[in-house]
Structure 1
Amino acid sequence: MQPLKPKVRSTIVCIRHGHVLLVSKDGVRWALPGGRPGKQESPEQTARRELQQETALEAKRLVGAFQFIGATTVHHVFTAAVGGSARPKPGHEIKCLQWLPHDKLGEIETSQTTRQIVSQFFQEGMR
C-alpha cells in the first residue's frame, strides 16, 4: 500500500503596516488567504488566483517565502505585495476579512497552522 500523498496548498501572507490580512468563511474562524491548486497550476499561479478570488487584490509582486509542513498539508507560503491604496473585498466563499496586528493572532479563532505560519514569517524578518 502506498503512503498517502499530502495535500498541497498555496498560502498567502499579505502584510500592511504590521497587520496581516485574514479571511473568514463564517465570520468566526480566521485564516490566511489561499487554496488548493487546479490541474496543471503551479503553486505561484494558485496563490495569485486565490488572492484575487478571495480578496479582489492583485499581487504586484508575489515571492515564495518558505514551505510549511502541517499535519496533513504542505503549504507553499508566499508573500504578496499589493498597492498601498488597494482595498480588499470578500469574495469566493469569503464572508469577511480583516487586517489584524500579527501579535493579536492568539486573540481570535484560527488554526494552529495559521498562527505558526505568521509567527515563522515574522521571525524570519520577512515583513
Structure 2
Amino acid sequence: MQPLKPKVRATIVCIRHGRVLLVSKDGVRWALPGGRPGKQESPEETARRELHQETALEAKALVGAFQFIGATTVHHVFTAAIAASARPKPGNEIKCLQWLSHEKLGEVETSTTTRQIVSQFFHAHTP
C-alpha cells in the first residue's frame, strides 16, 4: 500500500500597515487566501488565481516566502505585493474579509495552521 500523498495548497499572505488580510466563507472562521492547484498549475499560478478569485486583488509581485507542512497539507506560502490603492472585495466562495493585526489574530476563529503561518511570516519579516 502506498503512503497517502499530502494535499498541496498555495497560501497567500497580504500585509498592509502591519495587518494581514483574512478571508471567511461564513463570517465566523477566518483563513488566509489560497487554495489547491488545478491540473498543470504551479503553486505560483495557483496563488495568483486564488488571490484574484477570493479577493479581486492582483498581485504586482508574488514572492515565495516558505513552505509550511501542516497535519495533512503542504502549504506553499507566498507574499503578495498589492497596489496601495487596491481594495479587496469578497469573491468566489468568500463571504467577507478583513485586515487584522498579528496581535489580534488570537481574537478570531482560525485554524492552528493559519496562526502558525502568520506567526512564522511575521517572525521572519520583523527586524
TM-score above 0.5, yes or no: yes
Q: Which moved more, 1:32-41 or 1:117-126?
A: 117-126
Matched, 1:33 2:33: yes
Partner Cα separation in structure 2 for residue 75 and residue 62 of structure 1: 15
Q: 2:9 maps to what in 1?
A: 9
Within 5 Å, give how 1:42-61 maps onto structure 2.
Answer: 42-61=42-61
**Alignment size in residue pairs:** 127
What percentage of residue pairs aligned between the two structures are identical?
A: 86
**Cα distance, 1:63–1:36 mapped onto 2, change above 3 Å:** same
Where structure 1 has 5 or more consecutive residues not aligned to the other structure, the ranges are none
Partner Cα separation in structure 2 for residue 34 and residue 114 of structure 1: 11
Q: 4+ residue runs of structure 1 moved beyond 2 angstroms?
A: none
Matched, 1:120 2:126: no
- For residue 124 of structure 1, give the secondary structure of its aligned residue in structure 2: helix
User: Cα deviations across residues 53-83 of structure 1 (Å, max 9, x unaligned)?
Assistant: 0000000000000000000000000000000
Within 5 Å, give how 1:53-92 maps onto structure 2.
Answer: 53-92=53-92
Partner Cα separation in structure 2 for residue 68 and residue 122 of structure 1: 14
Q: 2:103 maps to what in 1?
A: 103
**Cα distance, 1:67–1:126 mapped onto 2, change above 3 Å:** farther
Partner Cα separation in structure 1 for residue 94 and residue 61 of structure 2: 23
Partner Cα separation in structure 1 for residue 98 and residue 10 of structure 2: 19
TM-score by length of 1: 0.98
